[in-house]
Amino acid sequence: MTDTLDRADPVTVFYDHGAEQVVLGSMLSDPQTIGEVEAIVSAGSFHKPCHPILFKAITELREGNRLTDPHSVAGFLADEKLLNRIPGGVTYLQELLAAPVTATAAEATNFARVVADKALLRDFDAGLERARSEIRTGGSASPAELLERTRVMISDLGMRAAGDGGPTRWRDIIRPGLDAIELAAEEGSGPPGVPTGIPDLDRLIHGLQKQRLYVVAGIPGGGKSTLGAGDFVRSAAFEHSHSTAVFSMEMTEQELFNRLICAASRVPSQRVVDGTLDTDDWTAIARVCGETENAPLWIDDTKGLTMADIRVRARRLKQQHGLELVVIDYLGLIESATSAPRNQQIDEMARSAKNLAGELDLAVVLLAQMNRAYAQRADKRPVLTDLKESGGIEAHADVVIFVHRDEQFDKTKRLGEADLIVEKNRGGARGTVEVAAQLHLNRFVSMAMP
């Protein structure tokens, strides 16, 4: 750059205006470098106020297959009434182009990485400053939530620094893609994810797979907890030894124990509640307790948890025990630290649950309630818009399963039966699985032949 520009644009820990100028000058002189640079930096990576404007102008012109020389860029900025925000106007563009450093595409990407690194440090510093400010001002967020926000911020910046999240070339996808197909073929017809305990449901959704969010919804008393916090948990932890955690903000630890032990031992739950167990009941319960004593199952019945609290506790279990499945019962009882409208809070919680599945590489089952209004329709079959308080739940969920029992609306219809309606199944088919509703044993059972 010229001596004047060099003296005006110092290099600090947080920015290097000279590197920014080289990058923009290279983009103006050689359109082929634009794509290379775009893969490394964005408009927000530039520090000098006029540089993000120039970067956006060049990339927008390129996207529209238009010329990106200084004259064309100046014309575009004039049309957008932005040229006056470039000190020196057209003269500055000519100076960028006439810089003594003529960067090749490879050199331009090197300078672009310098710009990206400086932006990373700026964002890191700003994130730490926000955390310090919240700590010192005594905000509404809990210590656990502050720590989680900081951890997520550092994790995101770490991925940026490592270059994660960018496009992968096809040839680099082929080998792992074929390996996954081969593994599925070797495992046969079994589900690739954690088995749900309902064979027909496994055939439809292929088990509870890592990095996916499963929403199990129903009206109160419909059986969503029986399925999500009961059948799924017993199958995962008791029958297949998959490390599982249940966060229950509705039922206590004792209530969950009663449900799981009754379902596994086939002892009617009412006998446990009434204290009328006979010798055979006690024998069956003792047998199940012995068989499941070392099951990899953790139950947390702490009330008032936020999603930040759940992430912290799930991450600890993941590090210590290789957690594979998280069940949250239920969405409506998760606390929010914000004062946003409830539907926005619900959307954020669902998004956070989906992120949890991806961050920890496990399956997340989130229980949710349905709007009672659907019970007034002639057709009682649930649809996605029946999800309570937020249409955003369906956007974040990979699979939505409705638990529907006709007998809740008409005592003469299909007694002891239920439908598990897979209304959304990303990458798979929708369908309905008929099951026997053995609610006196706190469980659903497949009606299909093995």
**φ and ψ of 103, to 5 deg:** -85, 130
Residue 434 pLDDT: 92
> Mind spelling out the 3-state secondary structure of the chain?
CCHHHHHHCCECCCCEHHHHHHHHHHHHHCCHHHHHHHCCCCHHHCCCCHHHHHHHHHHHHHHCCCCCCHHHHHHHHHHCCCHHHCCCCHHHHHHHHCCCCCCCHHHHHHHHHHHHHHHHHHHHHHHHHHHHHHHHHCCCCCHHHHHHHHHHHHHHHHHHHHCCCCCCCHHHHHHHHHHHHHHHHHCCCCCCCECCCCHHHHHHHCCECCCCEEEEEECCCCCHHHHHHHHHHHHHHHHCCCCEEEEECCCCHHHHHHHHHHHHHCCCHHHHHHCCCCHHHHHHHHHHHHHHCCCCEEEECCCCCEHHHHHHHHHHHHHHHCCCEEEEECHHHCECCCCCCHHHHHHHHHHHHHHHHHHHCCEEEEEEEECHHHHHCCCCCCCHHHECCCCHHHHHCCEEEEEECHHHCCCCCCCCEEEEEEEEECCCCCEEEEEEEEHHHCEEEECCCC
Residue 383: name the closest of 435, 422, 346, 331 by CA: 422
Residue 2 pLDDT: 42
Residue 31 pLDDT: 86
Which of the residues in the chain have pLDDT under 50? 1-8, 100
Residue 147 pLDDT: 82
Residue 6 pLDDT: 44
- pTM for this prediction: 0.69
Residue 47 pLDDT: 94
Residue 242 pLDDT: 95
The residues of the chain that CATH labels 1.10.860.10 are 3-116
The residues of the chain that CATH labels 3.40.50.300 are 192-446
CATH code assigned to 3-116: 1.10.860.10
CATH code assigned to 192-446: 3.40.50.300
Residue 211 pLDDT: 92
